[in-house]
Structure 1
């Protein structure tokens, strides 16, 4: 079974389980309401039957089915034949005979349960005793029926959810497959020219040894190598099936390398790029991805700065923080909520000329930070410019 099929089946199974859970909650609530309504209805019917029996029955010989009567008159107690001794509530009879208050009580013995209504009627006290076993049998039958129906409903809901989820995900799976093939093909096509570029840069470096261009050619070789690493990282990022191994990396060294690579672009724009030196700051991550994030933050600062971009790396507790500060116009408050969103539109009613431009760079920084268990934030400085901050967990 290929990875795409496994992903599709796992997702369909998750959809089925979610459907079953939703049905379980719904069925549970409905069953609870149904049982409560039945119990209330049974109790109301039982009370009505007891009251009617006490008020309309003249002797103990012919009560309704499931009922017994006890009538106390002038100290003599008449009982319906077959009345269980444990069902008779003699305390209620004595109390009602004394104060005339009507009482509804319950008695139980072994597995049997009874409800009694004791009421004064003229010069006599009448007690009706109702056997609750038929009501309990009906309640238990209802609960069993609800449980069976609910179980069948859960199975059907899970199956239907898995089936519908699989059908709904098929087009998405095809689209993802096409996307992965496109990225793989594009990566294959780019590897060849990058390999040639790296080879030619290395040959050029051999001829440039001892010349004024030696340092520039060395940086060209380094940039070509980094570009190859970025391509590999992009191919991994585009394929969710691939795992990414994180290694212990000196984040401060990564920042220094990125600043060195960004200085020519800053100089060309007339921007001074200042780096505050810091000690080694280890983090667990992918060096290529982290370099991409740092480069994106530096590029954003250089593009929007007026004259200076300040870069600092600091350790604070369990985190390592990179701060990039520019002295530009700052971030428009309308843009701030969507600053790290892909292709977020700019504020309405403003021309783009002379204003900050945002595309994929900061969105990629946010994604890389999330992949490394960190975060990225931005705010305007007190005066002019913007402050972008990348925070990562420090390696132990």
Structure 2
């Protein structure tokens, strides 16, 4: 028996309060009778373990009222995860901007701020400023800092999922190997006076993919998101779980060599990002006299209908589509989502032209090529979801309840 995708269900006498919470959160069992039937536990044991979750404030009787019990007898009250008992903080760093938010445990944004923050300023400065912004957002949301249960952070570089540290990032000078989670946790405490909380760090494209898949395509078994902004990266979700590779480097398609002679920010020549990213398009526009320095500038030009920007975006889309033909053939995704600064009609047209021309028909027969639903909030939603899945995983639930004395 399985819980959420990618998790092994223990069942029987090993079933703890965390497993029951998982069944309720996933919607697989939302009454006491259904929990008995799913786990094989007695009514008394289910009641005892649910009582711990009620006392912790993590579970409540659902607003749906009573439903028929699978064990017969009187209708049973539904149970639901109480997403209001704590909040999560999340931030998404780009090269020149940062977006931060306070979210409920179910992903609703309570307060949000977007503004300039240059990643080139280094981790000490950037993470310290995020701590300050988090404090302001909590005040804006009217929520006490003591109610924060964790922080999620999206960064534009590879992240080792075991250590939470950025690894050899091409566009994040000074961040390689830095204790990002530790510094952000300290900054949160310094600016709020609240105790330290867990900090989870992830690659921005990964967390965008996680947020988009969970919000819009929960039944898609293989989901790929490609973010095309200042650089190019991809996030992959397989069976509901992020695929990060051996050390967090999966999806770094911006550094696939495409035979061009352009110098990439990573120091190599011919990378896809050097010729087809928002930054590359901005450089070509600047060379022709159009003021543009970044992917966000290109996005504004595209929104204004600038013909040269549209032509270059379509050309960039064709280059990315050529690479994605290989990605689609390898992974056979059900959804391929294009996101980021260039994710408009010209770029998407170029992607489709080369993708369907180069990939085998078998690989694209069931493929939907779409654009982002969550837009600039995708990484925030994904970062928040990552924290919640971490903190409310069955084993961690048991640890946390014990630490709370429940």
The structure with the greater share of residues assigned to helix is: 1
Do they fold alike, i.e. is TM over 0.5? no
Structure number with greater CO (CA < 8 Å, separation at least 6) is: 2
TM-score (normalised: structure 2): 0.21
Q: Which has the larger radius of gyration?
A: 1
TM-score (normalised: structure 1): 0.21
